[in-house]
A and B are shown apart, each in its own frame.
Chain A
Amino acid sequence: MKSEEYSERIVDVNGWQCRLTSYKLGDVYHCHADNVSPGANLARTTGATKEEAEQKALDRAAGMLARTKRQEL
């Protein structure tokens, strides 16, 4: 099989940047979420549609990002 419909987009999640990388392998849509800077992985999900996979990744990423606190300098 070949990778299809590869796309990337960056969204704001409660003040944090989150990149959603999506592609289709066979009949399954895959989505990875990362935190853009530095680019660490937050979630990896699948779905029957791109939208479903992205929403799952976004939900998980939001839960993880909510745990990060900004320190006072």
Chain B
Amino acid sequence: MASYAHPETLVSTDWVAEHQNDPKVRLVEVDVDTKSYDEGHVPNAIAWAWNSQLADTVRRDILSQQQFEELMSNSGIAPDTTVVIYGDNNNWFAAWAFWQMKIYGHRDVRLMNGGRKKWLSEGREVSTEAPKPAATEYKATAADLSLRSFLPQVQSAVSAKAVALVDVRSPAEFTGEILAPPGLPETCQRGGHIPGARSIPWGKAVNEDGTFKSYDELKAVYGGEGIDGSRPIISYCRIGERSSHSWFVLKYLLGLENVTNYDGSWTEWGNLVGAPVEKGAAQATAKA
């Protein structure tokens, strides 16, 4: 069985248990439900709220370099700190945080395989104490935008049929049967998907216990839909967090080059005036 392309970007719950007091390691919980941390978390973990600390809510954007540096500094993170991120929903927003850390050049950032779910299901120790790390003066590198796709890039790539688009939403969102995940606000005007996209829901990348599938299994999942790295890859979902998860899988576990996350995702494309949309199941496979 082949191993992940970048196994150094994943740590197990055992590894975290052994390193939870390691001063060179900063544990960070990033949840969809930002109150989950208060229930109990991995001892010594701090928390980042995705909707306020990991986003510029005025511009609808990721953090600016200055905002990122402030977050890292206030979190006691230095450029040589090993940052281990985990969270609920199989690491959706943990992957979103990982993506931003890579955009700003943090060298050693990892995900805890299985996330909060696995930690809790294993009956491990949790704490309600929130650590107060000593502040640093973190300096980030300029944003590496080769990891991110903006609308104009997606539009031109779709027109030229020059990319492999991976829609990681649920099948019902992909077809247009529903406009948002069941129970959540409908934040787009139209259902469906970007023309030419393949439907590979994020959950196909994980096992029941929340850990990632093996390299060989992942290669089969994505390769079966023609996602093999022969063309640049753009992943998208509704707001960019689930697609961060799939971006991580494609780039760091499968090791494919030229993978970007389109965080504007369906809440941008689905609301555009005049943009083409496909409804129903995917067209013939991209690899035909």
Contacts and interface: CB of A to CB of B under 8 A. Distances in A.
B39 interface: yes
A70 to B, nearest CB: 6
A37 B171 contact: yes
Q: Of A3, A30, A44, A61, which is in contact with the most chain B CB atoms at under 10 Å from its CB?
A: A3
A68 B185 CA distance: 8
A41 B175 contact: no
B70 interface: no
Interface stretch (B98-106, B114-122, B136-144, B211-219): B114-122
Contacts of A23: 120-121
B123 A37 contact: no
Contacts of B191: 71
Given A38-B169, A41-B88, A71-B191, A2 B124 contact: yes
Contact of A44 (B35, B126, B186): B35
The dominant DSSP class at the B interface is: loop
Size band of the A side of the interface?
Answer: 20 to 34
Interface residues of B, number: 42
B256 interface: no
Contacts, number: 93
Contacts of B203: 37-39
B280 interface: yes
A73 B89 contact: no
Given A37-B170, A38-B201, A2 B176 contact: no
B172 interface: yes
A61 B90 contact: no
A25 interface: yes
Given A16-B183, A23-B120, A41 B33 contact: yes
B32 to A, nearest CB: 5
Interface string A1-39: 111101000000000100001010100001010110111
Contact of B179 (A21, A25, A61, A71): A71
A38 B202 contact: yes
B212 to A, nearest CB: 15
Interface string B145-188: 00000000000000000000000011111011111111110100
Q: Of A44, A68, A70, which is in contact with the most chain B CB atoms at under 10 Å from its CB?
A: A68
A13 to B, nearest CB: 9
Contacts of A48: none
Nearest to B127: A1
22 contacts: A1-B126, A2-B124, A3-B119, A4-B123, A6-B120, A6-B121, A25-B39, A30-B39, A35-B181, A35-B182, A37-B182, A38-B173, A39-B89, A39-B203, A40-B184, A44-B35, A65-B183, A68-B183, A69-B178, A71-B176, A71-B179, A73-B175
Given A64-B183, A64-B184, 7 more contacts: A2-B123, A3-B122, A3-B124, A37-B182, A70-B178, A71-B178, A71-B179
